[in-house]
Chains A and B, each alone.
Chain A
Amino acid sequence: MRDSIPLYVDAGILTLKIGVVGIVLALLTGLVCAIVQQLRIPVLRQIFGFYIELSRNTPLIVQLVFLYYGLPKAGLTLSSEMCAMVGLAFLGGSYMAEAYRSGFESIEPIQADSARALGMKPVQVMGKVLLPQAFAVAVPALTANVIFLIKEVSVVSVIALPDLVFVAKDQIGSDYNTQESLLLLVSAYLVILLPISLVARALERRVRFATYGD
């Protein structure tokens, strides 16, 4: 067992690396989508709306094989790591957008009107009044998405990335030490996800005080 632990550590680091980059990209994609939807920008709004539906209603594994095995035939080749990050951002963006949207919806329209009446420019209304409040309300949904997305990284072995699942499957195949491999696989995910889920819960408690009302 001692020999194979370094393999899982490396795989865990890869899983986290893809997860972190993918999640940051997803948070940005989601924010852009939600702002576009909130400001009702024509055309862009329809495009982003279609993207959200497409991304929410297809599994990551299908998105990944399309990116990795399909797109090169159209002349666009990405490395498997890039594919995994882009795929995660594509999937996560829509989930994050929905989380921000629920945040925006919780704000009374009168707040934007009042801010405008005070002479604020649209950018200021968004940046100083709407976004901070929307963000605070969205935090529980955003952190739930973060955990969901790190779990989704488990799929990237289909595009030949040596993540935790890949290493476990490889070990089962080569040494038949099934129990040990699965134990290490489960432990690795507990080590990664338990702290994140605890931090998420602490964060939720903190922002509850930042939200207006209740």
Chain B
Amino acid sequence: MEIDFSQGFQLLFQGRNFARMMLGLWVSVRIALVAMILSIVLGTLVGIAMRSTRSWLRAIMRVYLEFIRIMPPLVLLFLVYFDLTRLSDLNPALPNINLSGETAAIIVFTLWGTAEMGDLVRGSIGSVPRHQYESARALGMSGGEVYRYVVIPQAVRRLVPLTVNLTTRMIKTTSLVSLIGVVEILKVAEQIIDASRFEFPDASLGIYGIVFVIYFIVCYIISSYARHLERKWALA
């Protein structure tokens, strides 16, 4: 077996191919970033709702989290992309919804990220030991001060590395959007291979290999940073 990546490399540096792949990567990263920012904001609210004393609110959050946890992200993408559009077609009372693949993806990843983020927020608030609240109260701090000076700083230290990690999962999962027609890096790679099928019949090994490596580099950098933060703050 002779592994020959050369055709893929030649093709990659022909014309605008490399630039197109990078633009494709940017589409994935852009979806992940927008969804992550929305997820952080909404997830914090969901996380607080999960610790609410109102049991009906906790129950709703539980069902939401379980549903998102059980459904594969690809199925969620299908639901939003095909169904939301269709629903508005059938029911004249609804506004006409015509989602682009990218908007559908952002909606799905925000729903998914908000559930995951909510659970992380719930977990990290819960991980601050009970006696810390009690000691702070005993020192004469008010409820707000306890949160501001004692609970939140400790919760955030646990939360930030987990959030950074969630970002890499988000970027990896956005690779699915090519399946609802968004032209991201994988789709561009496919287009490049198809367009030069006669000139470079063996290019797919190299081109797909390069996509592999690009994903690895992007996610490895982010996940190493998460690990670095975890170590740094574990000692403090």
- Chain A interface (Cβ < 8 Å from any Cβ of B): 53-54, 56-59, 61-63, 65-66, 69-71, 73-76, 147, 151-155, 157-158, 165, 168-169, 172, 178-179, 182, 185-186, 189-190, 193-194, 197
Asked whether B124 is an interface residue with its Cβ less than 8 Å from the other chain, the reply is: no
Asked whether B26 is an interface residue with its Cβ less than 8 Å from the other chain, the reply is: no
Can you list 18 A-B pairs with a CB-CB distance of less than 8 A?
A: A54-B216, A56-B223, A57-B168, A57-B219, A61-B175, A62-B212, A62-B215, A66-B208, A69-B208, A151-B70, A151-B71, A154-B75, A179-B83, A179-B86, A182-B78, A182-B79, A185-B78, A197-B69
Residues of B within 8 A of A165 (CB): 72, 74-75, 78
Residues of A within 8 A of B203 (CB): 73
* Of B75, B186, B219, the contact of A61 (CB 8 Å cutoff): B186
Asked whether B179 is an interface residue with its Cβ less than 8 Å from the other chain, the reply is: yes
- Are B172 and A155 closer than 8 Å at their CB atoms? no
Q: A181: nearest residue on chain B (CB-CB)?
A: B82
* Complex Cα spacing A66 to B1, Å: 16
* Complex Cα spacing A57 to B216, Å: 5
**B4-62 CB contacts (< 8 Å) to partner A:** 4
* Of B2, B73, B83, the contact of A75 (CB 8 Å cutoff): B2
Describe A's contact surface by its main secondary structure: helix
* Complex Cα spacing A212 to B1, Å: 50
Q: In the complex, how many angstroms separate the beta carbon of A18 from the nearest chain B beta carbon?
A: 13
- Are B74 and A62 closer than 8 Å at their CB atoms? no
Q: A172: nearest residue on chain B (CB-CB)?
A: B82
Residues of B within 8 A of A157 (CB): 179
Asked whether B211 is an interface residue with its Cβ less than 8 Å from the other chain, the reply is: yes
- Residue in A147, A185, A190, A194 with the greatest tally of chain B CB atoms within 10 Å: A185
Residues of A within 8 A of B73 (CB): 151
Residues of A within 8 A of B2 (CB): 74-75
Assess A58 versus B83: contact at CB under 8 Å? Given A73-B204, A194-B70.
no
- Are B212 and A63 closer than 8 Å at their CB atoms? yes
Residues of B within 8 A of A70 (CB): 204-209
Q: In the complex, how many angstroms separate the beta carbon of A175 from the nearest chain B beta carbon?
A: 13
* Complex Cα spacing A61 to B219, Å: 15
Asked whether B225 is an interface residue with its Cβ less than 8 Å from the other chain, the reply is: no
* In the complex, per-residue mask of B66-93: 1 if CB is within 8 Å of any chain A CB, else 0: 1001111111001100110011000000
Q: B171: nearest residue on chain A (CB-CB)?
A: A59
Q: In the complex, how many angstroms separate the beta carbon of B138 from the nearest chain A beta carbon?
A: 27
Q: B189: nearest residue on chain A (CB-CB)?
A: A65
Residues of A within 8 A of B193 (CB): 69
Asked whether B220 is an interface residue with its Cβ less than 8 Å from the other chain, the reply is: yes
- Are B83 and A178 closer than 8 Å at their CB atoms? yes
**B164-216 CB contacts (< 8 Å) to partner A:** 168, 172-173, 175-176, 178-179, 186, 190, 193, 201-209, 211-212, 215-216
* Of B70, B87, B176, B205, the contact of A190 (CB 8 Å cutoff): B70
* Complex Cα spacing A59 to B1, Å: 26
* Complex Cα spacing A183 to B4, Å: 45
* Complex Cα spacing A179 to B223, Å: 39
Residues of B within 8 A of A65 (CB): 186, 190, 208, 211
Asked whether B236 is an interface residue with its Cβ less than 8 Å from the other chain, the reply is: no
Q: In the complex, how many angstroms separate the beta carbon of A52 from the nearest chain B beta carbon?
A: 11
Assess A74 versus B205: contact at CB under 8 Å? Given A61-B186, A172-B82.
yes
Asked whether B3 is an interface residue with its Cβ less than 8 Å from the other chain, the reply is: yes
Residues of B within 8 A of A57 (CB): 168, 172, 215-216, 219-220, 223
Q: In the complex, how many angstroms separate the beta carbon of A71 from the nearest chain B beta carbon?
A: 7
Q: In the complex, how many angstroms separate the beta carbon of B178 from the nearest chain A beta carbon?
A: 8
Closest 6 CB pairs of A and B: A57-B219, A154-B72, A151-B72, A59-B175, A73-B205, A70-B208
